Structure 1
Amino acid sequence: MAEPTARLLDLTRSLRRVGRVATGVDRVELAYLAHLLTGDAPLYGVARTALGYVLLDRAGMQGFRDRLEGRVPWGRADLVSRLPRGRTAALTRAESDLRRMARGRCLPSGLPSLLARHLPPGFAYLNVGHSNLTDRVLGAVKKARGRITVLIHDVIPLEYPAYQRPGTVAPFRAKIDRVAAQADLIIYNSQDTRRRSEAQMRGRIPPAVVAHLGLDLPLPDDGELPPGLTPKSPYFVVVGTIEPRKNHDFLLDLWQQMGADAPLLLICGARGWNNRAVFDRLDQLPPDGPVREFSGLSDPGLAALVQGAAGMLFPSHAEGFGLPPAEALSLGSRVLCNDLPVLREVLGDKAVYAATTEPYSWIRTIEEWTASPPDPRPAKTFNAPTWAEHFKTVLKST
Structure 2
Amino acid sequence: MRADPAVLLDVSRLISRLGGGPATGIDRVEAEWLAHLQGRPHLLLCRVRRGQLLLPPQAGAAILRWLGGALDGLPPPDLLDRLRGRRTLPARAEAALRRMALMRAGPEGRGLGRAALAHLGQAVYVNVGHANLQAGLLANLRPLPRAVLIHDTIPLDHPEFTRAGQADRFRDRFVAAVAGAELILTVSDATRGDVLRWRARLGLPGHAPVVAAPIGTRLAAPDPAGLPADLDLSRPFFVALGTIEPRKNHALLLDAWQMLGRMPDPPRLFIIGRRGWENREVFSRLDRLPPGGPVRELSDLDDGAVAALLARSHGLLMPSRAEGFGLPLTEAAGRGIPVLATPLPAARETLGDYAIWLSPDAPADWAAELARLSDAAPRRLPPLPVPDWDRHFALFHDGLSRSLRDPSVTAM
TM-score normalised by L of structure 2? 0.90
Q: Which runs of 5+ in 2 are unaligned?
A: 401-412
Corresponding residue of 2:167? 169
Cross-structure match for 1:25: 26
Residue 208 (structure 1) shift: 1.6
Determine the structure 1 residue equivalent to 2:288: 284
Is 1:190 the counterpart of 2:191? The answer is no
Q: SS where residue 9 of structure 2 aligns?
A: strand
Question: Which amino acid is 2:153 matched to?
Answer: V
Spell out the pairing of 1:264-283 with structure 2 (5 A cutoff): 264-283=268-287
Which ranges of structure 1 fall in alignment gaps of 5 or more residues?
Answer: none
Amino acid at match of 2:163: R
Query: SS of the counterpart of 2:96?
Result: helix
Shift of 1:296: 1.1
**Aligned equivalent of 1:153:** 151
Compared with structure 1, are the counterparts of its residues 354 and 118 closer, same or farther at alpha carbon in structure 2 (3 Å cutoff)? closer
1:235–1:266 contact (8 Å) kept in structure 2: yes
- In the alignment, which residue of structure 1 is the partner of 2:50? 51
Partner of 1:119: 117
Hey, what's the Cα distance between the residues in 2 that align with 1:114 and 1:185? 19
**Would you say the 8 A contact 2:239–2:317 is kept in 1?**
yes
Q: 2:129, 2:87 → 1: CA distance? A: 20
- Tell me the distance in 2 between the aligned counterparts of 1:210 and 1:366: 34
Match for residue 238 of structure 1 among 237, 240, 247: 240
1:218 pairs, out of 202, 217, 220, with: 220
1:136 aligns with 2:136: yes
SS in 1 for 2:169: helix
Q: Is the 8 A contact 2:135 2:177 kept in 1?
A: no
179-188 or 314-323: bigger deviation: 179-188
Percent identical pairs in the alignment equals 40
User: How many pairs align?
Assistant: 391
8 Å Cα contact 2:8-2:116 kept in structure 1 = no
Does the aligned pair in 1 maintain the 2:43–2:55 contact within 8 Å? Answer: yes
Provide the C-alpha distance between the structure 2 equivalents of 1:70 and 1:107, rounded to a whole number of angstroms: 30
Cα distance between partner residues in 2 of 1:64 and 1:381: 33
Deviation at residue 117 of structure 1 after TM alignment: 2.7
Deviations 1:120-142 (A, max 9, x none): 47531100000000122111112
* Bigger mean CA offset, 201-210 vs 331-340: 201-210
Cα distance change, pair 380–127 in 1 and its aligned pair in 2 (3 A): same
Partner Cα distance (2:362, 2:77) in 1? 56
Other structure's SS at 1:324 match: helix
Q: Give the CA deviation at 1:83.
A: 4.7
Paired residues of 1:122 and 1:147 also in contact (CA < 8 A) = no
Measure the CA separation in 1 of the matches of 2:214 and 2:254: 31
- Residue 72 of structure 2: aligned partner: 73
What RMSD, in angstroms, separates the aligned Cα atoms of the two structures?
Answer: 1.9
Tell me if 1:104 matches 2:103. Answer: yes
Within 5 Å, give how 1:276-355 maps onto structure 2: 276-355=280-359
Structure 1 residue aligned with 2:389, among 387, 390, 393?
387
**Cα 1:164–1:72 shift into 2, 3 Å:** closer
